[in-house]
Structure 1
Amino acid sequence: MIKKILIFTIVTLFISCAEEKKEKANSLNVPFEKFELDNGLQVVLHTDKSDPVVAVELMVHVGSAREIKGRTGFAHLFEHLLFLESENLGKGGLDKMSARIGGSGANGSTSRDRTNYLQTVPNDALEKMIWAEADKLGWFINTVTEPVLAKEKQVVKNEKRQSVDNRPYGFNQQIIDRNLYPKDHPYNWQVIGSLEDLQNATLQDVKTFFKRWYVPNNATLVLSGDFDTTKAKEWVHKYFDEIPKGEKITPLVKRPGTVSKSKSLYYEDNFARLPMLTIAWPTVELYHKDSYALDILTEYLSQGKKAPLNKVLVDDLKLTSSTSMWNWSSELAGQVQLGIRGFNKVNLNDINEGVNTAFRNFEREGISDEDLKRIKAGLETNFYTSLSSVIGKGSNLASYNTYAGDPGLINKEISLTLNVTKEDVMRVYNTYIKGQNFIATSFVPKGMTNLALKNSEEAIIKEEEIIIGAEEKFDPKIAAKYTKTPSKIDRSKEPPYGKTPSLSVPNVWKNELNNGVKVYGIKNSEVPLVRFNLVIDGGQLLEKLDKLGVANLTALLMNRGTKNKTVAELEESIQKLGASIRVSSSKEDITISGTTLAKNYDKTIALVEEILLEPRWDTTEFELIKKSVIGNLRQQEANPTTITRNIYNELIYGKNNIRSKNTLGTISSVEKITLNDLKLFYANYISPSVTNMHIVGDINKEEALTPLNNLTTKWTSKEVTIPVFKTPKAPNKPTIYFYDVPKAKQSVISFGAPALAETDKDYYPATVMNYILGGGGFASQLTQELREGKGYTYGIFSQFSGTKAIGPFTIFSRVRTNVTLESAQLIKKIITEYPTSFSKKDLGTTKSFLIKSNARRFETMRAKLNMLENISTYNLNDDYVKDREKIVNEMTVDKIQELAKKYINPNKMIWLFVGDAETQLDRLNELGFGKPILLNNTKEKIKL
């Protein structure tokens, strides 16, 4: 949703009053410099000296809209291919280099209209990154061979299975778009393409696509961060100048979607347990003047207690727990979508009637001046939050230059939002929504077509058939043979590092309030914001097994009003400050977190105090959130990833251990919980004695502490004893468990065993050991073998997940169904050999990444907040990162091998598979760990 992203990321100076902003918006100034090379490459430079890092982004003006019918998914396929290899970087390409230089992990994304490649690196690696980005455009395409293409097709197809085919409501957007846009419209198909089109792509197709679109005159390079602009310009010219200009590229014509007659479609979803209604209307493209009013309209209609849709559907009719409506403006066209997931067995015709009622109410009442200001105030804080990283600033400059030809629009577009009037909001409603034709989809559980909108026709989706050995064979180790592309300079040598940036650990201040609350803070003045959280230890650990879900319900209800404020009044008070406050629960704590403008910090803390000390305990809201949680639990029953997590936790911790339980509880336990249970939990366990507060932002210690005086006097401390639940030891032998999800297109796997607590002296050394195994992304053996070597998965990782208690070591992935056994066999081989295969080269890569990445460790406010949480939770030194640097520097191959032998043993693991038992269960006998244990009988519904 490019438009939304842009709007939330485009200012550098904040002016509090909307009227003042209208007058002064033109004075906003994000400094940048733009120049163009002779070959057409446009370059934008933005300096930010706050941290010794640079974000590098290459944005190419090609997305799925540049594809043709029958060859969809090419733009996204290229996003993958360009990370693999180039003539001068060699195998592993930018991914491999990223690990060595301490980068954030080279990443990319594809939309309808563009593909971008981006990462943040320590500034001593800037020349290396410019060299590498140039290699993508000028010295890449020869490295794409038949085996490389065959493998990457499988990776992309796995991504589609994971994000679309094997998840609830995954086909919804595909059905909407192919009906909202004509067949010859470039938004008719999905960015990821179809499995059939991807499979049919030939090597010549790929080369032709690259040579047409991946040319300097269709790209923007943005450097954002701490660097010398003179040197940067020299390097850009040195590495990019000789890349030849491509054919002239004609801009695509703006073309809205067309719906000549409203159309309703239904789909029986194999993974859905709750019915969902989506309605879509064609609207306007990016930067159209009406798009800004549509942004505000959709937020007003659906967000918050006062929203017309929520008043009717949530409060009055009680058909759902929430509604969602958004404006999606892309380069060529736009669409507004409304999505509502009903409670169990709710008829979507009733939801549709409720939508119409809400719209009529809005037509009669409109939007007030106060609500308009409130929504704009909420956008203001989002502006600054997005500017807390150099990659965020760089991405927006790249987008404005790509779509508008002018990065300077970053200083102008905000005024178009701030100048929206009440009349504009009503006008766009009447123009694009009221009485206009639409596309509606009804996604319903299998066998429940009676819940779909009346007169709906069935949407036909061609689903993949599970066939063992269906994919083509390839050998990715075959080296590409080609004549190297000539160059005026020697590109075979990677450029040297610049001056090594020094690690700067933020200064931490500390205080303890009289009632026992410990406060930790860091002053951060890059943007006029404050982020904070109040962490109250306990969470689900304080629940009883017959009342699972009490902590979560308590946290949710604390969000719903206070003694003196209704839900709507509380929301309005928060939003007027341009703030956000949220109470949430986890396994080990309840947290009140928030973000606010620094100047409104005192008023925001006053609201936090009210939420914390004066809950409303509203019975109507209590029943609503119970229904919402039960709905979520019901949907989780059919989500393979959630099923895997729930079962794996029970296998690791044991059924009678609270750590094995879903933090939401179970359907039966939530149904039994009363409002009095929540009040007792609050009275007994919400105490200053187990609370830490963390504050990062544009205020000093005194300014941060002064508003907390009331918390000291009004919040009385009580003793809270948090139970200790012993984690079982690793099993003595391996056991295979299988949970059947019929016709699953992927198998979700979790392999592991109880291992370490984060407080254990071996914990951080073990995470260092795991970097090359599965913790290092594309630097890890698991990724290189299963994704890059075989194309079995879109992603795989391994990790230690201890807290103050012992947690498991886990290997997790979603693999193509028909290679479930082969994936497990390969993982077994890798972890069996890891203690002896780990090399000096692997150690060098590990050390290089973990040390060099420290330059960007504390760049964002979120990172600084996380640092404070680590210090308070685990009683670490303020400069604990330096202690960890010492561990890394002193690590040896022998120590790595010793840790691997101690904590990663395939013969003492739980091997859990969630997938299609009909085709995969019996095959797992070949894994050598005995006959698999089937955990469910799909002929009888089994509840977790």
Structure 2
Amino acid sequence: MKRLLLAVAVSAALAGCASDTQISRLPAGVKLVESSVTHNAGISIPYKKYQLANGLTVVLHEDKSDPLVHVDVTYHVGSGREVPGKSGFAHLFEHMMFQGSENVADEEHFKIITESGGTLNGTTNTDRTNYFETVPSNQLEKVLWLEADRMGYFLPALTEEKFEVQRETVKNERAQRVDNRPYGRMNERFSEAFYPKGHPYSWPVIGWPEDLERADVDDVRAFFARWYGPNNATLTIGGSFDQAQTLAWVNKYFGDIPRGPEVEDMAKTPVTLDRTRYISMEDAVHLPLIRVGFPTVYARHEDEAALDLLATILGGGQTSLFYKNLVKDGFAVQAGVSHPCQELACQMFMYALANPAKGGSLTDIEKRINESIAEFETRGVTDEDLQKAKVQSEARTIFGLQSVRGKVTSLAYNQTFFGKPDMIAEDLERYSSVTKEDVMRVFNKYIKGKPSVVMSVVPKGQTQLIAHADNYTPERAEPVASTEQTAAAKPASSSFDRSVRPSEGAAPVMTVPELWTGALANGIQVMGTESDETPTVELLIYLNGGHELVPVDKSGLSALTASMMNESTAKRSTEELTQALEMLGSSISFGSSGNQSTIKVSALTENLPQTMAILQEKLFEPGFKEADFQRQKQQMLQGLQHQLNEPDYLARTNFAKLLYGDKNPKGVGASLETVSGLTLDDVKAFYKAQYRAGNAEVVVVSDLDKAQILPQLAPLAKWQGKATPIPEQGPLPELQGGTIYIVDKPGAAQSVIMLGKRAMPFDATGEYFKAELMNYPLGGAFNSRINLNLREDKGYTYGARSGFSGKQDSGTFVAKASVRSDVTDKSLVEFIKEINHYQQQGITAEELAFMRSSISQGKALDYETPYQKAGFIRSIQKYDLAADYTAKQAKIIDTIGKAELDKLAKDNLNLDEMVMLVVGDKASIQPGLEALGYPVKVIK
């Protein structure tokens, strides 16, 4: 009954946002395929599905709760549609589609959407490519114009120069995400061994480097002509819009585009292995990793749900067999099992990161994995396993409905792959109907005694740690000649002048969440707002202190204590507590940051009382058991050792030390040395100092009003203790402005560059806020000067940004990018050039107008989800802001002039006050950096 009532509540909430208005007369060539309206029988997303004469599928979902729209165009083409020798085309093409079309200039797509106050991106996977924008509702027509122009009129704007720049950008992305990252090449090596030679999933989505080098602009033209027709696309729109007007716009902008070649679904060929394949690789890592994969089915196969549940039982968190047998006793730092599914194939994915303190042998870890599988066969499936999986499935579904983007993404995915936009009810039923017998059946069919691929990733020079000697060498399919057309397809003719950019509608009325304040009996201040879109509660507890409450020589103590708070209590074990929360569909997470510790609680409203009871137990009766402490400490130490291989981590930690020194908590984070010295008594002492009522403030976003929710927070009213004063911070160093510091990362494919200095603390309406406005055209947006220079013009990086970051008592200015190692010195020169020029010449009139439009209109997107609302509330609470501070910010944005912004640039962007840090291969980058004429120091 509870579940039924919950389903009814969600459906009612969604129905309240949806409209069942019938369009009396459809535009010519548009037909209504089906209409789905929420009824009180289950959880669903109301929609209407239409089809244009050219085959474009259009899915509309109305949600009037916020003044925004989310637009998604999904093309049913991913890397799986490529052929051997031409890998990476789908992903490369995703980049190319942002480079302008016949009526949209190069780099204009990002500029137009950002100036409209929106956000945008595109993603590619094995099976589809999608492009999406979230914008204020008055900008919808403009988005449709942009998307239609690149669907129908992309080829006339395609040039060799654009192709070369984006190929360099993709190579930079690969260097940053694959080649320069620990375990970065694991997935592509594993897929080669797992899938048959030439299988659509046997090559990486980002492509093999040699294939990218081999590609030319004609290949891109052919790929577009083959796959980017309207009949291979789904346009999904969700949010606040008028359906009749929207359909008219859709027909106007997309209706003229001719149908493309017909597209058939790819065959779902099962993956079979004749024996277990062992492969291995050495990498710049600290933790040996074992990965095991069993072939299973494909997305929405009748066995998928049971296999998902099997994965949860084996390795889905702290109640799983993998956690008990590998992590609990410290043999692995992490371990888990999942069952990821794609259109053509799924796999049972198992992994474990071995603990070097226990020897790090992957042979031993593989043995424990096999013992866990055997234990499952003996143990079987419990009633709790089934109930937990069903509750979690329903909770994930409900939380996923909190944003328009989440709903649109679900509709677009299901329509693209299964021809039915809303499948929520069917999915819930799929998981709800799984039986114990189903789980055991799929275990026997796909896992028990079946061959797998077993991959070992070990630190360089430590091949003795691999699980088993390699017995398989993957083979790549020979490049094949493309059979697709190579001639450029003629662009669609148009019935109107597409060069005219649509004007925007009247600005939507932006509603700031209506806030309430209250206090618990012990004086804890509570601030909240009501959000009735889903029957959920988001409760956040902030405790002043965090890392800054800790002496420098005990850095890491706040984080280690938070980890211990996530463990057992005096009454129940970690596993028992996790099980109790999972049965409720709730989560409780303790964390820590620079100046605060946090407690994050998510719950379905109906299960809040039981969730609060568990929170009370965890907060007031922590177990602080020695075994938990030793495991958490060891995991933290191994994690720190692992991070020493991460270039970004090396850059962040060394840059903080340059700015704040080694005697100030802001400059010193957790280290192997400090964490090694921590004791359980240290944790207990910090708990007493930090987790006190006097340090706490509460934020809550719920479908309950103040009178309903405050009594449910009563367990927190029992909390005692006065506020703990923050110790005096250590002295700050004198910055050696204009100095280049190098941190050696031998063999690095990229260099991480950071330039910056200490700056002003946070101020919502003062110099800090105005400095953020000043920086926006320099490095605060995609089409900022820095990013357009280093990414779009030079092809040096995947992305470059700059910005101010502020707290109550301090702040920083940082410009940052990961760049190709061979252009490290040239990239730094461009950073310096852009910052100097902006500091000396200031903002242009066009940039000032762009900044005003982008930031002011973007406010329409700020308060949609419960967590966005919670973030807004926390800013008011933390910085003691006036309730109308956003109105003051809006006035500043509208009235601030070039003279004031230029002065801010002049005062805050002096490079002589900034230090420059580069993390990269010293042997190759140092000569070029020294040639720039700045002092160069190497950090040991």
* Amino acid in structure 1 at the alignment position of 2:133: Q
**Cross-structure match for 1:20:** none
TM-score normalised by the chain length of structure 2? 0.93
Q: Are the aligned partners of 1:374 and 1:575 in contact in 2 as well (CA < 8 Å)? A: yes
* Amino acid in structure 2 at the alignment position of 1:442: S
Gaps of 5+ in 1: 1-8, 16-23, 463-480, 937-944
Q: Are the aligned partners of 2:142 and 2:502 in contact in 1 as well (CA < 8 Å)? A: yes
* Amino acid in structure 2 at the alignment position of 1:828: I
**Cross-structure match for 1:675:** 680
Aligned equivalents of 1:361 and 1:142: distance in 2?
A: 62
**Cross-structure match for 2:287:** 274
**Cross-structure match for 2:31:** none
Aligned equivalents of 2:218 and 2:815: distance in 1?
A: 38
Residue 618 of structure 1 and its aligned partner are, at CA, apart by 1.2
Residue 726 of structure 1 and its aligned partner are, at CA, apart by 6.2
Aligned equivalents of 1:222 and 1:11: distance in 2?
A: 25
Mapping of 1:677-826 within 5 angstroms?
677-712=682-717, 714-725=718-729, 728=732, 731=735, 733-759=737-763, 761-776=766-781, 778-826=782-830
- Cα 1:379–1:408 shift into 2, 3 Å: closer
Matching of residue 186 in structure 1 with residue 200 in structure 2: yes
Q: Are the aligned partners of 2:11 and 2:42 in contact in 1 as well (CA < 8 Å)? A: no
Aligned partner of residue 659 in structure 1, secondary structure? coil
Q: Are the aligned partners of 1:109 and 1:116 in contact in 2 as well (CA < 8 Å)? A: yes
**Cross-structure match for 2:109:** 94
* Amino acid in structure 2 at the alignment position of 1:629: M
**Cross-structure match for 1:38:** 53
Alignment counterpart, residue 405 of structure 2, candidates 375, 385, 391? 391
Matching of residue 56 in structure 1 with residue 71 in structure 2: yes
Aligned partner of residue 565 in structure 1, secondary structure? coil
* Amino acid in structure 1 at the alignment position of 2:338: W
Mapping of 1:613-624 within 5 angstroms?
613-624=620-631
1:613-633, Cα deviation, whole Å (9 max, x unpaired): 111111111111011001101
Q: Are the aligned partners of 1:175 and 1:459 in contact in 2 as well (CA < 8 Å)? A: no
Matching of residue 149 in structure 1 with residue 163 in structure 2: yes
Residue 597 of structure 1 and its aligned partner are, at CA, apart by 0.4
**Cross-structure match for 1:4:** none
Aligned equivalents of 1:541 and 1:459: distance in 2?
A: 52
Aligned equivalents of 2:534 and 2:103: distance in 1?
A: 40
Aligned equivalents of 2:341 and 2:289: distance in 1?
A: 23
Q: After alignment, is 66-75 or 901-910 more displaced?
A: 901-910
Matching of residue 305 in structure 1 with residue 312 in structure 2: no
Q: Are the aligned partners of 2:537 and 2:701 in contact in 1 as well (CA < 8 Å)? A: yes
Q: Are the aligned partners of 2:332 and 2:353 in contact in 1 as well (CA < 8 Å)? A: yes
1:450-508, Cα deviation, whole Å (9 max, x unpaired): 0101223597999xxxxxxxxxxxxxxxxxx9998642101111111112101211111
1:343-370, Cα deviation, whole Å (9 max, x unpaired): 1241001111111111111111112111
Aligned equivalents of 2:548 and 2:475: distance in 1?
A: 44
Aligned equivalents of 1:483 and 1:328: distance in 2?
A: 40
**Cross-structure match for 1:907:** 912
Matching of residue 642 in structure 1 with residue 654 in structure 2: no
- Cα 1:71–1:12 shift into 2, 3 Å: farther
Cα RMSD for the two superposed structures: 2.1
Alignment counterpart, residue 292 of structure 1, candidates 297, 305, 312? 305
Q: Are the aligned partners of 1:556 and 1:584 in contact in 2 as well (CA < 8 Å)? A: yes
**Cross-structure match for 1:265:** 279
Matching of residue 630 in structure 1 with residue 642 in structure 2: no
* Amino acid in structure 1 at the alignment position of 2:775: N
* Amino acid in structure 2 at the alignment position of 1:285: Y
Alignment counterpart, residue 596 of structure 2, candidates 572, 589, 598? 589
Aligned equivalents of 2:546 and 2:472: distance in 1?
A: 45
Q: After alignment, is 70-79 or 306-315 more displaced?
A: 306-315
**Cross-structure match for 2:484:** none
Matching of residue 856 in structure 1 with residue 861 in structure 2: yes
Q: After alignment, is 379-388 or 550-559 more displaced?
A: 379-388
Residue 711 of structure 1 and its aligned partner are, at CA, apart by 2.3
Aligned equivalents of 1:435 and 1:283: distance in 2?
A: 13
Aligned equivalents of 2:472 and 2:157: distance in 1?
A: 44
Aligned equivalents of 1:53 and 1:510: distance in 2?
A: 28
Residue 806 of structure 1 and its aligned partner are, at CA, apart by 1.1
- Cα 1:492–1:597 shift into 2, 3 Å: same
Aligned equivalents of 1:246 and 1:682: distance in 2?
A: 64
Aligned equivalents of 1:188 and 1:385: distance in 2?
A: 34
* Amino acid in structure 2 at the alignment position of 1:888: I
Q: Are the aligned partners of 1:533 and 1:693 in contact in 2 as well (CA < 8 Å)? A: yes
Aligned partner of residue 204 in structure 2, secondary structure? coil
Question: Identity of counterpart residues, as a percentage?
Answer: 37
Aligned equivalents of 1:784 and 1:461: distance in 2?
A: 40
1:210-247, Cα deviation, whole Å (9 max, x unpaired): 00000011000001011000000100110111101111
Residue 877 of structure 1 and its aligned partner are, at CA, apart by 1.7
- Cα 1:799–1:726 shift into 2, 3 Å: farther
**Cross-structure match for 1:243:** 257
Aligned partner of residue 871 in structure 2, secondary structure? helix
Matching of residue 840 in structure 1 with residue 840 in structure 2: no
Q: Are the aligned partners of 2:117 and 2:136 in contact in 1 as well (CA < 8 Å)? A: yes
1:687-743, Cα deviation, whole Å (9 max, x unpaired): 11121110001111122211223322x321224101242674873631100011111
Alignment counterpart, residue 516 of structure 1, candidates 514, 517, 523? 523
Mapping of 1:239-638 within 5 angstroms?
239-270=253-284, 272-316=285-329, 318-344=330-356, 345-456=359-470, 486-638=493-645
Gaps of 5+ in 2: 1-6, 14-38, 477-487
Aligned equivalents of 1:921 and 1:623: distance in 2?
A: 42
* Amino acid in structure 2 at the alignment position of 1:333: A
Q: After alignment, is 378-387 or 119-128 more displaced?
A: 378-387
Q: Are the aligned partners of 1:303 and 1:323 in contact in 2 as well (CA < 8 Å)? A: no
Q: Are the aligned partners of 2:8 and 2:42 in contact in 1 as well (CA < 8 Å)? A: no
Residue 421 of structure 1 and its aligned partner are, at CA, apart by 1.3
Aligned equivalents of 1:552 and 1:732: distance in 2?
A: 31
Q: Are the aligned partners of 1:65 and 1:186 in contact in 2 as well (CA < 8 Å)? A: yes
Aligned equivalents of 1:519 and 1:758: distance in 2?
A: 22
Residue 13 of structure 1 and its aligned partner are, at CA, apart by 3.7
Aligned equivalents of 1:92 and 1:893: distance in 2?
A: 24
Q: After alignment, is 205-214 or 549-558 more displaced?
A: 549-558
**Cross-structure match for 2:884:** 879
**Cross-structure match for 1:658:** 665
Residue 25 of structure 1 and its aligned partner are, at CA, apart by 10
1:603-659, Cα deviation, whole Å (9 max, x unpaired): 212221221111111111111101100110110111111111111110010111111
Aligned equivalents of 1:459 and 1:429: distance in 2?
A: 28
Aligned equivalents of 2:279 and 2:491: distance in 1?
A: 53
Q: Are the aligned partners of 1:256 and 1:284 in contact in 2 as well (CA < 8 Å)? A: yes
1:527-547, Cα deviation, whole Å (9 max, x unpaired): 111111111110111112222
**Cross-structure match for 1:230:** 244
Aligned equivalents of 1:241 and 1:61: distance in 2?
A: 19
1:429-469, Cα deviation, whole Å (9 max, x unpaired): 1111111111111110111110101223597999xxxxxxx
* Amino acid in structure 2 at the alignment position of 1:288: H
Aligned equivalents of 1:165 and 1:45: distance in 2?
A: 41
Aligned equivalents of 1:637 and 1:27: distance in 2?
A: 49
Aligned partner of residue 918 in structure 2, secondary structure? strand
Aligned partner of residue 90 in structure 1, secondary structure? coil
Task: Give the length in aligned residue pairs.
Answer: 894
Q: Are the aligned partners of 1:26 and 1:411 in contact in 2 as well (CA < 8 Å)? A: no
Aligned equivalents of 1:85 and 1:876: distance in 2?
A: 42
Aligned partner of residue 57 in structure 1, secondary structure? strand
